[in-house]
Structure 1
Amino acid sequence: MKNRYAVILAAGKGTRMKSKLYKVLHSVCGKPMVQHVVDEASKLNLEKIVTIVGHGAEKVKAQLGGQSEYAIQEEQLGTAHAVIQAKDFLSDKVGTTVVICGDTPLITAETMESLLSHHEETGAKATILTATPEDPAGYGRIVRTPEGSVEKIVEHKDASVEELKITEINTGTYCFDNKSLFATLSKVSNDNSQGEYYLPDVIEILKNSGETVSAYKTESFEETIGINDRVALSQAEALMKKRINIGHMKNGVTLIDPENTYISADAIIGQDTIIYPGTVLEGAVSIGEDSIIGPHSEIKDSSIGSRTVIRQSVVHDSSVGNDVKIGPFAHIRPESAISDDVKIGNFVEIKKSSLGLGSKASHLSYIGDAEIGADVNLGCGSITVNYDGKNKFKTKVEDGAFIGCNSNLVAPVTVGEGAYVAAGSTITEDVPGKSLSVARARQVNKENYVDRLSMNKNS
């Protein structure tokens, strides 16, 4: 196998998106377009990936990090001009270079591998990835020789009546013999109405020099769609969502209503888990087997165990164990760790806290900046008072403690192992283990108070 390289074109601003965000950073199923492309390219056996950046260069670099090398295209003067910016990284290399646009998020590693293999098997100097859409209008047509090799690419506006009948189109993804690519780029002219240097001109120059130019036709036109505006972005979102959801269902996940279930490209879901409609899984989410998620739940960058139920709730940047029940209407905020067999009920908010094995917060509680041990019962209305207006403080409740309803634990404070806090208490000092703490005003009954109040009003 030859050495292989990739050039990702990601320098354009994307004015048709009408956005402050650079085009390739717009997300499809929760991941920026260019990240989709680089992730798929990274599955190939590549020696080097070079991403051409321009507008939003620092943000693109921040997104991709060490997955790629970077070359700057200061002025956007066409696709050939963009590729030549990679010369310092690639011009002396022997092997094959695939050129991919950073706004084609649906392209897969399998299609790129097929393109590379076809290119190397045919011994071509250049190979074009082609497709046959239902409506080829606006696309450059692939004109082939009787033997099947590429004769030329003709743009739609320049095509004859006969050429317009051709349905095979140029997708804008190419493979090149690397040495030939960089030798030919220097010969590309900008003698056109836009004054730009176009990569397809490399194909024409190679062809006119007697070199072999081939084409590999993918059966999946949708993979090759480039995103130039919000309409195309929404179409890509729908196609990617369908691809992701079908993949999970084929792997043994039940999606009750796939059309209304949104799963990120990076999500991992175990067999026999059921996802109900309205659920959104965003970012790096992992869910074990036999769990039930939704309806209308939002999970982001979190791990969820097996046999766990999360209904109408939100979980962000946290870990949830096995056999946990959450919701309805619970909120698990970032940096929380929920152990196995925990119950978190309706209108409970957990923030930057841990709950130990078998603990319960069944309703109407706020647990923030807290360390809750195993088998702790947090009664209805339990509050950890963690903020004094300037600083946050920690609450610790040790194993087996029982916190009565409507209790305030004013941090920093510790409730010892097996201790009881009476309902309605405001705890400001540590509670020793196995103690009962009562911190509330003594009840006073004023008899006949209502009658006297009525008399005063009428006098």
Structure 2
Amino acid sequence: MSQTSRPRAAVILAAGKGTRMKSSLPKVMHPVGGRPMVDWSIDLARRAGCSQIVVVAHPSQGLLIEHIASLPGDIPVAFQDPPMGTGHAVKCAADALSGFQGDLVVLYGDSPLVPADAIEELFASLEEGAAVGVLGFATHEPGLYGRLITSGHGQLEAIVEAREATPEQLLVTLCNSGVMAAGAEDMFRLLEKVTNDNAKGEYYLTDLVGLARAEGRRCQAVRCAEEDMIGCDSKADLAEAEAIFQARCRKQALEDGVTLIAPETVYFSYDTVIEHDVVVEPNVVFGPGVTVKSGAQIRAFSHLEGATIGPYASVGPFARLRPGAVLDEAAFVGNFVEVKNVHMAEGAKASHLSYLGDGEVGAGANIGAGTIFCNYDGFFKYRTTIGEGAFIGSNSALVAPVTIGEGAIVGSGSVITKDVEAGALAVARGRQVERKGWATAFREKMTARKAAKKKG
């Protein structure tokens, strides 16, 4: 937001029932890129410099209301009940914005891909004298979209709903996205003049353009790409939005110097950070909260979430990193290893078939195949600490809370329940007993018994 801009606020419309989603989850809570769609709109408003944000919801949307309350920034929720159109929805936010003097943008909780620079253009149109700015997009199949009727230089004369349009107006391909900006005082004043005298009997936000033009004031259309304005009313729409998001992430990663061996098989989240010279093999999923430093390698079929991967570290193939996993430089997590809330220091290794949960692994320590951090007793979680240079033999169970000292060795197959001193060897398993000839005698006895049973 420029220093000369007026204060900005946003109203996010999220009261739709989303019946086409066929889901008990509120429509705007469905995720794209690993976060709820409504969070995309809230983030968009913040990036556009909005100091106040109001979400309009239906009182029945308990999960959405609780989610908004959990977010930082004290975002008020205004209720629309019953739903009577977009104009009515914005009016429901008036009390929450009482006393606000500045510019107001109306966003939608089911449109996750709207770019911040388009919203900036809308606000800029107000600064340049427009009473109302509307975001539009051109499409070859306008269908039931409202049409933006414009004159020279993008001046907006009217928004006509498809059901109300003349045959000539239906030929217009510049369509209304629904995103609109105006001075808050003007918007709420004009909304008082909106009627529901239309085919659906609803109060249309789009009527503000005609009302402003009737006062002799200028309105402005701002163009945006069609794919930026996708609204998600169904699972098919949701999948399309996800595909657009992923394609953009893959393109950006490649431009940033990341090697994606099979880009179409790699999936990103909204906050994935991957530095240059990282190699990502096929079929990798980055859940929310992942950072990968330069030179690291993420091998095929790995799933990462809430993890930080240091430079030149290696993950996978077939590895799972859960929240709190931190791999320092050149740490190694191999195939079928799961790491959760564990810090692996420089050069530490867990090459295969292990579960490491809640703990620390010192620099250069080696975790043998089949090792388990037994971190949960059914009620509480406990930590395992492995010192620098320690060696944990294969098929060991470390029962937390427990500390394995620096340079210590744990013998294969051990169940360790007590701390092990630095430099010590710990072996905790039953003594091996050998009975010569027992196996041969057993087989002869059982073979004879089986033969006798068949004869009988």
Please give the residue correspondences for 1:262-341 in structure 2 after superposition, counting only pairs within 5 Å: 262-311=267-316, 312-317=318-323, 318-333=325-340, 335-341=341-347
State the match for 2:47 in structure 1.
43
Deviation readout 1:378-406 (Å, 9 max, x if unpaired): 1111112x3xxxxxx41211110011111
The CA RMSD measured in Å over matched residues stands at 1.9
Give the partner amino acid of 1:76: P
How far did residue 95 of structure 1 move?
A: 1.9
2:331 & 2:410 partners in 1: Cα distance? Answer: 20
Q: Scaled by the length of structure 1, what TM-score is found?
A: 0.89
State the match for 1:104 in structure 2.
111
How has the CA–CA distance of structure 1 residues 148 and 445 changed in structure 2, closer, same or farther, with 3 Å as cutoff?
A: closer
Give the partner amino acid of 1:30: G
SS of the residue aligned with 1:328?
strand
1:454 & 1:192 partners in 2: Cα distance? Answer: 90
Deviates more, 1:203-212 or 1:448-457: 448-457
State the match for 1:380 in structure 2.
394
2:357 & 2:159 partners in 1: Cα distance? Answer: 59
State the match for 1:156 in structure 2.
162
State the match for 2:86 in structure 1.
79
State the match for 1:235 in structure 2.
240
Contact 1:37 1:105 in 2 (8 A): yes
Unaligned runs of 5+ in 2: 376-383, 450-456
Deviates more, 1:88-97 or 1:289-298: 88-97
How has the CA–CA distance of structure 1 residues 368 and 446 changed in structure 2, closer, same or farther, with 3 Å as cutoff?
A: closer
How far did residue 416 of structure 1 move?
A: 0.6
Give the partner amino acid of 2:434: N
1:204 & 1:187 partners in 2: Cα distance? Answer: 11
SS of the residue aligned with 1:77?
coil
Q: Scaled by the length of structure 2, what TM-score is found?
A: 0.90
State the match for 1:401 in structure 2.
408
Deviation readout 1:236-267 (Å, 9 max, x if unpaired): 00001111222222222111112110010111
Contact 1:51 1:70 in 2 (8 A): yes
Give the partner amino acid of 1:260: T
2:69 & 2:96 partners in 1: Cα distance? Answer: 20
How far did residue 192 of structure 1 move?
A: 3.2
Give the partner amino acid of 1:70: V
1:452 & 1:254 partners in 2: Cα distance? Answer: 61
1:408 & 1:92 partners in 2: Cα distance? Answer: 67
Q: Tell me which of 442, 447, 451 is aligned to 2:436.
A: 447
State the match for 2:178 in structure 1.
172
Deviation readout 1:211-244 (Å, 9 max, x if unpaired): 22111112x1111111110111000000011112
State the match for 1:251 in structure 2.
256
Q: Tell me which of 196, 202, 222 is aligned to 1:216.
A: 222
Contact 1:91 1:178 in 2 (8 A): no
1:451 & 1:235 partners in 2: Cα distance? Answer: 66
2:304 & 2:226 partners in 1: Cα distance? Answer: 32
- Residues 1:261 and 2:275 are matched in the alignment: no
State the match for 1:181 in structure 2.
187
Q: Tell me which of 190, 195, 198 is aligned to 1:192.
A: 198
Contact 2:157 2:209 in 1 (8 A): no
State the match for 2:348 in structure 1.
342
Deviation readout 1:352-399 (Å, 9 max, x if unpaired): 121111111131211233111111101111112x3xxxxxx4121111
How far did residue 175 of structure 1 move?
A: 0.8
How has the CA–CA distance of structure 1 residues 454 and 28 changed in structure 2, closer, same or farther, with 3 Å as cutoff?
A: closer
Q: Tell me which of 111, 123, 127 is aligned to 1:120.
A: 127
SS of the residue aligned with 1:181?
helix
State the match for 1:59 in structure 2.
66
Contact 2:118 2:135 in 1 (8 A): no
State the match for 1:142 in structure 2.
148
Contact 2:164 2:199 in 1 (8 A): no
- Residues 1:18 and 2:22 are matched in the alignment: yes
- Residues 1:133 and 2:139 are matched in the alignment: yes
1:328 & 1:28 partners in 2: Cα distance? Answer: 29
How far did residue 193 of structure 1 move?
A: 4.0
How far did residue 146 of structure 1 move?
A: 4.8
Contact 2:65 2:77 in 1 (8 A): no
1:168 & 1:88 partners in 2: Cα distance? Answer: 33
State the match for 2:35 in structure 1.
31
Contact 1:7 1:52 in 2 (8 A): yes
1:135 & 1:210 partners in 2: Cα distance? Answer: 32
How has the CA–CA distance of structure 1 residues 139 and 445 changed in structure 2, closer, same or farther, with 3 Å as cutoff?
A: closer
1:379 & 1:147 partners in 2: Cα distance? Answer: 74
